[in-house]
Amino acid sequence: MNSGRKAKGKKEKGLFGLNKPLASFSLPLLSVIQWAILFVFVSCSVGPDYKPPKVDIPKNWKWGEPKPNPNPSPSQGKPKPAVNKEANKGNGLQSEENIKKAIEEAKKNPGKWKVAEPKDFIKKGEWWKIFNDPVLNQLEAEAEVANQQIKMAMANVVEARAGVGAALSAFFPHTNFTPSYQRWKLKTHLPWLPFILPEPIYSTVPLPGIPAGSIIGTTHYYGFQPTLNMWQVYLNSNWELDIWGKLRRQLEAAKAEAQASQAELEGMKLTIHADVAQAYYLLRYIDSQLEVMERMIHVYEDNLKRVEIRYKSGLSNELDLARAKTDLSRIKAQYIALESHRAKVENSIARLLGQPASTFHFPRKPLKEEPPDIPTSLPSEILEQRPDISQAEREMAATNAMIGVAYAAYFPSVNLNAYFGFFNTDFGQLFTWPSNSWIYGPLIDLPLFEGGRLLANLMQARAAYEKAVASYRETVLSAFEEVENALIGVRLLEEEQKVEDEVVASAKKQYELAFDRFQRGLSHYIEVDTTETVWLNAILTDIALRGERFIVRIALIRAFGGGWQDSSMKKSPIKEAESKKVQK
């Protein structure tokens, strides 16, 4: 019976070429593959190509140049030596030649934004080493390997790079191996099952008076049995042709997202290293304030003893004694509050280093040295190496590519499908050649009515791009604000500390005079109380200004993007000429 059906199958041509030899469909399959390759090479990419937006970038910093001295010394009032203009090109100084070029460029491009050229690939290096502090170097090294936020950013990079691989895999055929087993139960009396009719039996050999292949009878059962087993083993392959560039746009977006995640990692490293450095110098200037307050506590204790002696001898009144006790209690309370603040800063450093705050202890190290010099006359293009600007620009590119993906949804998608496997109700006959079946051919999917979904997706992609553009420009504007604020601090804090040094000296002198007058009985303790408080506050402010000068330099480095090229560290020709002149 089976052999009869097999002979019959060789004579007839079944649906989709079932039970045909493989050689009979190899030629059409080859032609389909050739057409698919042709489609891939001649296909286009719909949607707008990415063009970085322009950003209005000034050539120089408003607070980048040193403030002119209103009262120059005789040596400063002399004419400055001539400066080579060629050597002054590109250093970002407000030279006459640069100003003329800026005016000419402004006339050519009024109100234009500069084309984005991210330079976050520039190696930032270990910028904290300019502070020449081995302890800070050790803390930064520990933060690099143990900080959890950096590890999360690294994981994001790996995840985004895996997304690129997933987008790239869409260009290749996807093939699945799918074995299955099912047990069916069917009712044979259903009128809509045409295959329940008696099945004819064909003769496989000639019989007397009956040629081979003739019907010699029917089966004794009708169609399928009420219950049966179904065994299937097949390979299913699908290949989407990228005719309209949807897959290419998806790959473009995935690459941009991976680059954005890399920039995010660099930005996270910059933030963590800057936070460690700022917390370190904040802790050190708090230690300096604690050191001063410990000395002042001894001074207040000595004053209290002197007042008590004078009070017992009748030279001071009870009010002076109460003031002396109040001063001592107040400075002790301030000392305790400052210790509490130090403990919190110490805990923040522990978190940045990836250590439990309960086991981290940092020894006292008062701040004594001066902060290093940092060039402030760098060109404004240095901001293009900031990681956050690069991240915003790459996110812009990704959202632009997604517009092409949404636009490609309007066009028909073409998939090449192929199926080959074995199908039988008898597992013993499953892998025999009569049990094989195959299907191949293209599948075209043309959207006709989506209820506005495609238009909504396209509008959403365009709005996301416009939002990314605005976010990018806002990031650039914020970067300029951060740099200018840091430059203000670099310049004015130094001037403020010079004035504060004079305040400390004057307050100390005032306190000494008031204490001398009190000792000689010419005044009450209220003068000592007032001048002593002014002197202490002036000292603490002076120490805080020194620490803020370190912190604001770190903020400037962060605003610059974490570093600069080595050539930018060199002194400008004007400053070199001035320094040589002073030496002469």
Cα–Cα distance list, 81 to 67, 91, 377, 574, 580 (Å): 19, 18, 20, 9, 10
Q: Which two tokens stand for residue 481?
A: 């604000």
Using a 10 angstrom Cβ sphere, with 0-12 exposed, 13-18 middle and 19 or more buried, the burial of residue 383 is buried
Residue 416, classed as helix, strand or coil, is strand
What are the CB-based long-range contacts (under 8 Å, 24+) for 489-492? 489/548, 489/549, 489/552, 489/555, 489/556, 490/63, 490/374, 490/376, 490/549, 490/552, 490/553, 490/556, 491/63, 491/66, 491/67, 491/376
Tell me how far apart the alpha carbons of residues 181 and 163 are, in angstroms, rounded to a whole number.
35
CA distance linking residue 9 with residue 422, whole number of Å: 16
| C-beta of residue 556 within 8 angstroms of C-beta of residue 487 | yes
- Whole-model pTM: value is 0.69
Distance, in Å, from the CA atom of 95 to the CA atom of 382, rounded to the nearest integer, reads: 19
pLDDT at residue 67, as a whole number? 55
| pLDDT for res 208 | 63
Would you state the pLDDT for residue 1?
39
pLDDT score recorded for residue 106:
41
* Rounded alpha-carbon distances, angstroms, from residue 25 to 7, 16, 37, 290: 20, 10, 19, 90
From the list 371, 362, 217, 218, the residue with the least C-alpha distance to 287 is 362
DSSP state of 443: E
Compute the Cα dihedral for 394, 397, 403, 408 and give only its sign: negative
How many C-alpha atoms does 447 have within 13 Å on its Cβ side? 14
pLDDT recorded at residue 244:
86
- Mean pLDDT per 10-residue interval, the chain, length 584 residues: 40 35 43 51 63 62 52 41 35 40 46 51 71 92 92 92 90 88 66 51 60 58 60 88 86 90 90 94 93 89 85 82 88 93 94 92 90 76 82 90 88 88 82 84 86 90 91 89 88 87 88 83 80 88 90 90 50 42 42
